[in-house]
Amino acid sequence: MKIIDARLRPPLKDYLRCNLYRDPKKTQAWSDNFLMKLSPAAEQRDAALLYQEMDEAGVTLGVMTGRQSPDMGHVSNDDLMAIVTEQPGRFVGVAGVDGSNPAAALAEIERTVVNGNLHAAGMEPGCGDIPMYVDDARLYPIYQYCMEHGIPMFLMGGGGNGPDLSFSNPEHIDRVCRDFPHLTIVNMHGSYPWIPQVLFSCMCHSNMYLAPDMYMYNMPGVQDYVVAANGFLKDRFLFGSGYPYIPLKQAVDLFLDMPFREEVLPNILYRNMARVLGLDMD
């Protein structure tokens, strides 16, 4: 069975300069919340060990997202494009853009997605120099451009995605889905912890895909995600690890132990994300 990991940050290039790998004690402290221990690849910052870990877990592709955050670090899109070129069978890239400068964001999406080898655009508006909710009007030209050009938009919709808990409230991403009904939106971190609210939003808006990623593991409320994935979200729910916080083999094993219906697993493990990114469904 093929598996696409919707949120995998490898120990390569700019990622190594982010807090994820620069401060392993802090990363492990966060992993403790999920009852996890960092894998040897993450601890040793060793890409070769990660590739072994991916093979052992059966992860076919890892989706990498760019980042521009004063607190969490900077991952350049040039680095993502280089990784995709060097490891085309292992990774696909999502161009990270800074929504506080819409003109620059549009130029970057054109450079790296329309004319480059990245497959989508992504923003973390609450984590930038100027924290914004995802439904901030300043971001709307970016959504409009992506909708018109058929470019999926990955939004950090949950978890620690802003100065306070209000930034993960799904009412904000709900408005974006309403205002741009033909834009494919991937909600990273699945609007955790607002699970019932975001699931209702997904039921109302067929353009929202949900990737709870690391919040699927040993966290309260997971059973509600599973119920939705077995039903109305079977074609829009996405597997993700949140690596390096969650080791890949444990992520896959725990995910497969959840009470998903067998017939939906190919969709949520591979086909749904392949459809979002325009990859070969076979």
Residues 233-250: pLDDT tens digits? Answer: 999 999 999 999 999 999
* HSE value, Cβ hemisphere, 13 Å, CA-based, for 31: 24
Please list the residues that pair with 5 across neighbouring strands.
62
Q: Distance from CA of residue 4 to its chain's centroid?
A: 11
Q: Distance from CA of residue 280 to its chain's centroid?
A: 20
Q: Which domain holds residue 198?
A: 4-277
Instruction: Note whether residue 221 is domain-resident.
Output: yes
Separation of alpha carbons 59 and 2, rounded Å: 7
Separation of alpha carbons 169 and 205, rounded Å: 16
Instruction: Note whether residue 271 is domain-resident.
Output: yes
State which amino acid sits at residue 117.
N
* Residue for token pair 């999926």: 152
Residues 242-280: pLDDT tens digits? Answer: 999 999 999 999 999 999 999 999 999 999 999 999 997
* HSE value, Cβ hemisphere, 13 Å, CA-based, for 92: 21
The secondary element (H helix, E strand) that includes residue 202 is: helix 195-204
Residues 209, 215, 221, CA angle at the centre, nearest 5°?
Answer: 90
pLDDT-derived band at 281 (thresholds 50, 70, 90) equals low
pLDDT at 68: 80
Question: Exposed, middle or buried by CB within 10 Å (0-12, 13-18, 19+), for 218?
Answer: middle
State which amino acid sits at residue 67.
R
Instruction: Note whether residue 199 is domain-resident.
Output: yes
Residues 58-71: pLDDT tens digits? Answer: 999 999 999 887 77
Instruction: Note whether residue 282 is domain-resident.
Output: no
Q: What is the DSSP letter of 192?
A: T
Contact yes or no for 206/236 (Cβ under 8 A) = yes
What's the mean per-residue pLDDT of the chain? 96
Entry pTM: 0.96
**Going by C-beta distance under 8 Å and a sequence separation of 6 or more, which residues neighbour residue 55?**
none
**In 72-151, where does DSSP find H-type helix?**
77-86, 102-109, 140-148
Domain with 128 in it: what CATH number? 3.20.20.140
Total number of domains constituting the chain: 1
